[in-house]
Chains A and B, each alone.
Chain A
Amino acid sequence: MSGPDLIAISPLITLTGVILVVMMVIAFARNLKLTCFFTILGLVATLLNLVLIAGNDPMQVTPLLIVDAYALLFSGIIVLAGLFISLLAYSYLAHRGEKQDEFYLLLMLSTLGGVTLAHSTHFGSLILGLELVGVSLYTMISYPVRGLVSLEAALKYLILSGVSSGIILFGTALLFAATGTLAFDDLAQADISMANSTTFVLVGMTFLFSGMAFKLSLVPFHMWTPDVYEGAPAPAAAFLATASKGGIFAVLLRFFLSFDGFRFDALIEILTWIAILSIVIGNLLALMQDGIKRVLAYSSIAHFGYLLVAFIATSVVSGTHLAVEASIFFLIAYFITTIGAFGVIIIMSTYTAADHDVDAREDYAGLFWRRPLLATFFTVMLLSLAGIPLTMGFVGKFYIFAAGVESELWALLTAVVVGSGLGLFYYLRIIFAMTRQVEMRDGLTVPVLGGWALGVLSLLLIILGVYPTPVVQWVSSVASVMG
C-alpha cells in the first residue's frame, strides 16, 4: 500500500485510531464526560479529514475499497449522524447511572462500519461493514439495561439480522458461483449469458436484495422494526434508523448501479411491489400506533418505500442521474429529520425513571404551552417527515416525485401520493396533541448540549428547505459521477 492510498483512506484510519483512543480512555478512567469529549473530537477530526481529501481524484484502494465523491459524501453524512446522536445522547446517558461509557465506543464502531459500507466495492468489505454495524448495534440496543424491553428488542434484532446476513452471504455465494468474482467491477463485466449462470445470478440477486431489505426494514421484511424501535434506547434507535440504514442503502445503490442489477425485469417487478407495499402498509400501520417511536418505526418503513421509488427510477437510463440525485438528497433530509425527531424523544426521556422512553402521545399533550421551543422543533421535524414546504423533507419529496415522473413510474407515484396523504394524518395527530391545552407539570429542563444540537438540526432543516441550492449542487455533482 502506497502513500496516496493511505491518504485516500485516512478518514477510516483516523476513525479507527480514535476508537482505540476512546477505548484506552475508558480503560483508565470511567468518565462519561471525558469519553463523550473524545468521541466528539474524534468524529469532528474524521469529518475534517473527509473535507481535506474531498478534492482528490477518485481512487481504488485495494480491491475492497474505493474512495470517490460518492463514498465521501455518504461517509460525511454518516459521521455527522454519529456526531449529532452523540451530542443528543450525552444527558440521556448521564442520567442512566454509571458505566455508560461503552455506548460511545459502540456508536463509533458502528459509524466505522457505516463508513466502510460507503467505501465498499467488494463483497468482502460489504460483509465486513455490515457486520461491524450490526454487531455494535445489538449491544447498543440492549444497552442501558432497565427491564426486559430493550433486551427483547436486542435479541429480536440479533436473530433476524443474523438470519438476513446469512441470506446475503448465500446470495453472494450464488453470484460468486456464476461469475467467479466478488468485486463489483468484475461482476459487472462477467459474462452471465449462459442459462445456468443467469438463473444463479437472478436468484443470488434476489437473496441479496431480500437480506438488504431486512436491514432496511422494507415490507414484507419489516416485522422486527416497531418492536426494536420501541425497545431500544432512543439514541440507539436513532442510529439504527439513520446511519445504519444509510450505509446499507449506499452500498446497495452502488452495487446495483455498477452491476446494472436493473437489467432483470423480474427483479424490477419485485422491487416495485416491495416499494408499493412498504409505502402503503408502513403508512397504514403507522395510523394505528399510539407510541411515537412506533409511529417513527412505521414511518421509516414508508420512507424507505419512497426512497425505493427513486432507486427503481435509476433503472430507466435517461432518468438515472436525477434518480441517484433524488435518492441521496432524500436520504440526507431523512437523516436530519429522523435524528431530530428521535432527538426530541431523547430529550423528553432524559429524566424518566421508567424502563422505557417517554414516547406515548399523551406524554406530549400540551407540549406547545409547556416547552414552546422544543414543541416547535418537533413540529418542524414532523412537518418535514410529512413533506410540507419550508422544510427539507418537502424538497426531498419533490425529488422523489421528479425522479418518478422522469422515469414514468405512475403506479409508484400513485402509491407515494396515497402514502403521503395517510402520513399527514398521523403526523398531524401528534402535532395536534402538542397543541392541546392540558394542565401538566413535568419539571423537564432541556439539556444544553442536546438542546443546541436539536436547534441546529431544526435550523438546517428550514434553511435547506427554503434554500436547498448548496446541497442540490453538491448532490448533483456526485450523482453525475455515478449516473
Chain B
Amino acid sequence: MSPNPPALRYSINRRQLVSLVIFAAISAAVFALTPVKTDMSVFFARGDTLLQRLLADELLAGAASRVVLIGLDAPDTDTAVAASRTLQAALVDHPDIASIRNGAQELSDAERDFLMRYRYLFSTRWNAQSFSSDGLRAALDEQMRKLRSAFAPFAKQTLAIDPLDQFWTVLSQEAPHTAPTLADGVWIDTTGRLAPLVAQLHAGTADLDGQERALRAIKTAFDANAPASVRLHVTGAPVFATQSRAMIRDEVAWLSTLTSVLVVGILWLALRRKEYVLLGSLPLLVGVVAGTAAVGVVFGSVHGITLAFGATILGVAIDYPIHLLAHLVPGESAHTTFRRLWPTLLLICVTTAVGYGAMALSSFSGLAQLGVFAIAGLIAAVAATGLWLPRLLAARPPPPIPRWAETAPVALHGARVFRVAILVALIALIAAAALPGFGGKTRWWNDDIQSLNTVSSEQRATDARLRAALGAPSVRHLIVVTGADEQDALAKSEALLPQLESLQRDGAIGGFDAAARHVPSIATQQTRQRLLPAAEPVAQTLAQVVLAFSFRPDTFTPFIADLSNATRLPPARAADVPPGVMKLRLDTLLRPVGDRWLALIQLQDPINAARVAAAVTELRRDDVVALDLQSATASMLGDYRREAVRWASVGGIVLWLILALQLRPLSRALFAALPAVLAVAGTVATLHLAGVALTLFHVVALLLVGGLALDYALFFFRTDALPKDHGATLFGLVVCAVTTAAVFVALAASAVPILAMLGTTVTLGIVLTFVATLALAGFARSAL
C-alpha cells in the first residue's frame, strides 16, 4: 500500500487550494453565525390558535418551566428538617434563584394585612344577617367557645378586630388544601423522612445556561452542608431541559466522532488510498455546511437534533463520490466517468431532494428544518461531487475492484431459487404484520411525546413523588378561561367556582386553584361592599349584645373602626396584591397572552379527566377549555405525524414519477420501485411485529429508507451501464450500504430516543433494501 503524498500535493493546483481555503472559511463563518438550539421549542408550531400558543407558552415559558422541586431524603424527621433549613438558608440569596421555599415562608405580613383589610370584600361567608343582633350574638358566643378551647392562642390574635372570623375564612380560601404538613415549620411528607422544597428560577427554558447555573448552585449548596445520610432529589422542567440538552450534546459529540471513524475506516478498507478517503468525505462536508447555512438563513437558528439528524441523512451524500470512484476506469478521465454517471447521480439527488422537499413544507418546524437541511445539503454535495472531485482526482488510478464484486453478479443471477425464497420470505413477513392475528396487539402509531423524552422513568417517579408530597397542581390537566381583559377573565373563572367545588365534593378532582379564589372580580367585591352596614348602627347593636358576655366593654372598638374603613375601600385588582407568595400564585393563574387575558384553573390529583371534560363541555362555552397537556401534545404530534405521512406519500409519488420519466418503459420504472416498496413495507412489518408503535420520526426514517432503496435500484437497473460496470456498481453499492449501515447501527445505540429510533429503523431498512435489491436485480437483467 503506497499512498502517494507528493502526487496528491501535485494534483492540487493553486486555484483548487484557494477554493478549499475559501470553503473552510465559509464553513467556519456558517457555524459561527448560526445559533444552535437544544430546547423543545422546535417541537411546537408557531401557534395559529390561542390554544396552541398557550400550549407552547405553558411548556416553554410558563411558571412551570421555571420551578424546581427539591426533595431531601433523610433517615429521620429531625435530620430532614435541619437539612431543609440549611439548604433554604444557603440558597435564598442566590442571584439565579428567584425564590426558594421549604414551608417556613408563609404569607408575608404585608399580605396578611392586605387580606385582613379586604376580608369582607373577599370572603364568601357572610351576609347582612351577620351584623344583626342575632348574628353578632352567635359570633361572640363562638368567640367565647374558642377562648375556652385548646385553639385559644389562635383565636385571641384577631378576636377584637374580627369577631365574625372573616379573616380566617379568607386565609383558608388562600391556603392550598393539600399543602404538606409542617414539622417545626418545615414541610415534611407523610413518611416524615422526605422534606420537599420549591425553588423558582429566574431563567426560563429560553435560558438553559441560567437554569444550569441555578441547578449547580443547588447541588453545591447541598454537598457543602448536608450530612452524608441525606440524599438529594431534584426534579422539574429545568432539570429535564438541561439534562436533555447535556445528553443531546454528549450524544452528538460521541456519535459524530464514532460515525466519522467508522466511515473513514470503511472507505479506507474499500478504496485503499488516503486521498480517496479525503476526497470522498469532501461532498459530505460541503453538504453539512450548506444545509446548516440554509436552515440558519430560513429559520434563524438550527436545532441540535436537526444537525444530528440532518448530518446522518446527508450521510447518503458520501454515496456520490463512492459511486464515482468505483466507476473510474484506467485511462478514462474522472470527468468522462462523471459524465457517464451524471444522469443517474442527478436522478438520485433530485428524487431524494423531492422526498425531503415534502418535509420542508411541514408546519412542524423540526421537520421543516430537516427538509431544508437535506435539500440544500444534497444539492451542494452532488454539485461538489461533479464540479470539484473530477478536478481533484485528475488522472488518478481507479481503486481496485475486488474479485467478489466481479463474480457475485453472475453467481447471484444463477441462484434463482435462493432469490425467490428471499422474496417469498419478505412478502410473508409483510403479510404476517398485516394480519390481525400476529401484530394485532400492537398499536400502529404512538404520538405520546413522552416516548421522545430523554427523561428516565425513574426520574419521572421521583417527580411524581415530590409533586404528591407538595400537593403541587397537576402538570397535565388544567382548565383555561379566556377573556377580553383581566376583569373579564377573572369574572368568567369566578362564575365556574360553584361547579369546581361540586367536582371536588364528588371526588372528580382532588382540588383546584383559581385566581378568583385569591382576588374576586371587582363586580363581586362591589356587590359585597354594598351589603356592608354602616358602622354606627352595628356599634349600637353590639353594645347591647356584648352585655350578655364577660368581654371588656371596649374590646370590639377595632372591629367597628375597621368596618367603616371597609365600606370606603376601593376594590382590589390583582396588581394591588403586595409582593409575596400570593402574588406569585396570582401571576401564574391570571395573565395576558397576546391581546387576550387568561385565567388558568389548576387542578390537583387525583383527577377524573373524563368528568372534568364533561363538566366543561356542559357549559357550552368556547372561552372555557379543559386542557390535557399530554393528550394535547399527543394530538399535536399526531397531526404532525399524519402530515409527515401525507407529505412523504406525495414525495414518494413525485419521486416515482420523475423516475418513470427517466426509466422507460413504464414496466422498468415500476420494477425499479419494487425494492423500495418491499424495503419500506418490510421495515414497517418488522417493527410492528416487534411491538414498536410508529412515531413521526419513524416516518422520516422510512422516507430515508425509501430514498436509499430507489438510489440502489437506479444504479442496479441502469440501462446505460458498460459491461464492466456491473462489478463496479455492486462494489460501489456494497461500500455505500456498509458505510450507511455502520452509521445507523451507531445511532441505534444512542440514548436519545429519537436518534435510537432513526438508527434502528434505517439499519433494518438498509438490510432489507439490499436483500430486496439483490434478489430483484437478477430478475431485472433477465426480464428487461
Same assembly? no
Please give the residue numbers on chain A whose beta carbons come within 8 Å of chain B beta carbons, in ascending order.
none
Please give the residue numbers on chain B whose beta carbons come within 8 Å of chain A beta carbons, in ascending order.
none
